[in-house]
């Protein structure tokens, strides 16, 4: 959905209070999803043929590697593949399969998977948990696959923004009886000020090779969990705050 976080929450409130409106919106959104999926499918087929043809040409005639723009052609094909993959993911990002599970184990697992890349880059990555024995951590209802996608995407962006000697920190705490907070901070390069207001809008990106869908997908997933995803970015620190209801 091409709505801001605030608009999505307003839409959810309207759907909760009006059954007829909820039915109409559900039907409309399902129709949009179906059309989007079909478009992705129709585009992916010829793209697959283009890629396989280029691979066949390169195998049978290795000298094409010396042709100007050949590598650029392959890069463009790869970027289109990523765009279609992200668009397909975005199309289903507001649907979650929630189960009671341990969210701390997820955070620790993701952190471990990033340690090698962070170490290689000379970046310190750490995790702090406020009162690890709180029951809400071990029996929180969430979609593990999609929550992993959100945190992984934010950490990946953070690692790209940091340089040797910088730090990335994940903090998890239950703010009060109603909110679980996950903060992902780094002291790398800040997000440009003109991008911040639209950072979660589809196809908005400040990276040369970005599709502009990663954070839009992340925002949709958190909204589907009934939470919010916000960001602050200053010269000294950039922080993404995931606020989830308990």
User: Do 109 and 86 reside in the same domain of the chain?
Assistant: no
If pLDDT is split at 50, 70 and 90, which confidence band does 111 have?
very high
Is the confidence at residue 232, as pLDDT, over 80? Answer: yes
pLDDT for 2 equals: 53
Distances (CA, A) of 183 to 30, 128, 226, 238: 33, 10, 17, 10
pLDDT confidence tier of residue 233, bands split at 50, 70 and 90: very high
Residue 99 has pLDDT above 70, yes or no: yes
pLDDT of residue 244: 94
| Euclidean distance between CA atoms 201 and 7, whole angstroms | 12
Same structural domain, 161 and 135:
yes
Alpha-carbon span 187 to 161, nearest angstrom: 9
| pLDDT one-digit tens code per residue, 14-63 | 767 878 877 776 677 666 666 777 777 788 888 889 999 999 999 999 99
What's the average model confidence in pLDDT over 68-87? 84
Last residue of a domain, one of 32, 59, 92: 92
pLDDT value of residue 4: 57
Lowest mean per-residue pLDDT among 55-59, 70-74, 80-84? 80-84
Number of Cβ within 10 Å of residue 176's Cβ equals 9
218 and 161 part of one domain: yes
- Among the candidates 92, 122, 157, a domain finishes at 92
Tell me: do 60 and 113 sit in the same domain: no
DSSP secondary structure code for residue 170 in this structure: E
Q: Are 61 and 110 found together in one domain?
A: no
Name the pairing type of β-strands 179-186 and 167-176.
antiparallel
Q: At what angle do helices 214-224 and 5-17 cross, to 10 degrees?
A: 30
Three-point CA angle 228, 232, 233, nearest 5°: 150
Q: Do 231 and 134 sit in the same domain of this protein?
A: yes
Q: Judging by DSSP bridges, how do beta strands 167-176 and 140-142 pair with one another?
A: unpaired
Mean of the pLDDT values across residues 188-204?
84
Sign of CA pseudo-dihedral 109, 115, 118, 122: positive
Confidence check: pLDDT of 5 > 60: no
CATH code (residue 30): 1.10.287.130
User: Could you identify the residue written with the tokens 């945190």?
Assistant: 151
Looking at the structure, do residues 144 and 224 belong to the same domain, yes or no?
Answer: yes
Of 243, 220, 241, nearest to 230 by C-alpha is 241
3-state SS, residue 210: coil
Label residue 230 by pLDDT band (50, 70, 90): very high
Q: Range of 201's domain?
A: 99-245
Asked if residue 104 and residue 212 are part of one domain, the reply reads: yes
237 with 187, same domain: the answer is: yes
88 & 104 share domain: no
In the chain, the percentage of residues whose pLDDT exceeds 90 is 42
Q: Is the pLDDT of residue 65 over 60?
A: yes
Confidence of residue 132 (pLDDT cuts 50, 70, 90): confident
CATH code: domain of residue 119? 3.30.565.10
Please say which residue of 65, 92, 119 terminates a domain: 92
For the chain, how many structural domains are there in total?
2
**Phi (first) and psi of residue 87, to 5 degrees:** -65, -40
| Count of CB atoms situated within 10 Å of the CB of 226 | 14
Q: Same structural domain for residues 71 and 105?
A: no
- What pLDDT is recorded for position 184? 97
Residues 181 and 111 in one domain: yes
| 127 neighbors 107 (Cβ within 8 angstroms) | yes
* pLDDT of 122 higher than 90: yes
pTM (whole model) above 0.85: no
Q: Check whether 1 has a pLDDT greater than 70.
A: no
Residues 6+ apart with CB under 8 A from 70: 58, 64
């Amino acid at each position: 959905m091409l709505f801001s976080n605030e608009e999505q929450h307003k839409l959810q409130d309207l759907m909760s209070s009006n059954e007829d409106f909820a039915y109409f919106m559900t039907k409309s959104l399902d129709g949009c999803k179906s059309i989007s999926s079909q478009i992705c499918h129709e585009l992916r087929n010829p793209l697959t043929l283009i890629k396989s043809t280029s691979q066949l040409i390169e195998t049978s005639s290795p000298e094409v590697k010396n042709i100007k723009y050949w590598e650029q052609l392959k890069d463009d094909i790869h970027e289109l593949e990523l765009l279609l993959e992200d668009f397909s993911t975005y199309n289903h990002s507001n649907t979650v399969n929630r189960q009671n599970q341990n969210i701390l184990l997820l955070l620790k697992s993701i952190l471990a998977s990033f340690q090698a890349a962070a170490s290689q880059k000379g970046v310190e990555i750490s995790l702090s948990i406020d009162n690890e024995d709180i029951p809400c951590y071990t029996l929180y209802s969430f979609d593990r696959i999609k929550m992993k996608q959100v945190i992984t995407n934010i950490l990946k962006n953070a690692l790209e923004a940091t340089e040797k000697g910088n730090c990335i920190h994940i903090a998890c705490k239950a703010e009060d009886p109603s909110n679980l907070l996950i903060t992902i901070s780094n002291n790398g390069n800040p997000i440009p000020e003109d991008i911040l207001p639209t950072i979660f809008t589809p196809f908005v990106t400040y990276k040369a090779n970005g599709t502009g869908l990663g954070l839009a997908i992340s925002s949709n997933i958190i909204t589907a969990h009934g939470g919010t995803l916000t960001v602050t970015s200053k010269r000294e620190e950039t922080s993404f705050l995931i606020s989830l209801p308990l």
